[in-house]
Amino acid sequence: SPPDNNGVTPELEKAGLLNKTKIAEGGRKLRKNWSPSWVVLVGNSLVFFKDPKSQTPSSWKPGNSRPESSVDLRGAQLHWANELSSKKNVFKLRTVTGNEFLLQSETDSLIKEWYKTIQNVIDRLDRE
Ligand code: I3P
């Protein structure tokens, strides 16, 4: 795809597999539906892809990399949210539009890295 940001391709900050559930859409509460998601932090956005491992062989196509959804991190809020789940290592991301996601990993170091990296992007955008 063509570069944006005045011709500068946004920097890939981080990518990896996390468990994800959306819990609110525009401030309206949703029923939880946890599933593994390939998460990519690039530029000002967190982009979610279907977990490749959860796809059937027939759904494997080269270039089949259409994101499921994407979150604008400008003005977003990040909080540890272990009280919102029976799972460990859960944080909540809330967008300015009132969409809320829980993200989770069984691996403590991994989820801490994600939290720190996303918070750094949010802080950078707050200063702009
Ligand atoms: C939900 C499911 C979720 C669980 C949620 C349950 O049940 O077990 O995994 O969230 O708990 O309601 P269902 O599949 O019937 O929708 P956690 O795994 O995050 O605890 P909750 O309602 O207490 O949030």
SS (H, E, C) the chain: CCCCCCCCCCCEEEEEEEEEEEEEECCEECCCCCEEEEEEEECCEEEEEECHHHCCHHHCCCCCCCCCEEEECCCCEEEECHHHCCCCCEEEEECCCCCEEEEECCCHHHHHHHHHHHHHHHHHHHHC
**In this structure, what are the phi and psi dihedrals at residue 85, rounded to the nearest 5 degrees?**
-155, 155
- Residue closest via CA to ligand 1's atom 12 equals 32
**What confidence score (pLDDT) does residue 67 get?**
86
**What confidence score (pLDDT) does residue 50 get?**
87
Q: Residue 85: CB within 6 Å of ligand 1?
A: yes
**What confidence score (pLDDT) does residue 57 get?**
58
Q: How far is the CA of 32 from the centre of ligand 1 (A)?
A: 6
Average pLDDT over residues 115-123: 97
Q: Residue 80: CB within 6 Å of ligand 1?
A: no
- Residue closest via CA to ligand 1's atom 6 equals 32
ipTM of the complex model: 0.93
Q: Residue 34: CB within 6 Å of ligand 1?
A: yes
Q: How far is the CA of 34 from the centre of ligand 1 (A)?
A: 8
Q: How far is the CA of 81 from the centre of ligand 1 (A)?
A: 14
**What confidence score (pLDDT) does residue 47 get?**
95
Question: Structure tokens of 6?
Answer: 């005045």
pLDDT digits (tens, 9 = 90+) for 18-41: 999 999 999 999 999 999 999 999
**What confidence score (pLDDT) does residue 66 get?**
80
Query: In percent, how much of the chain has pLDDT > 90?
Result: 75
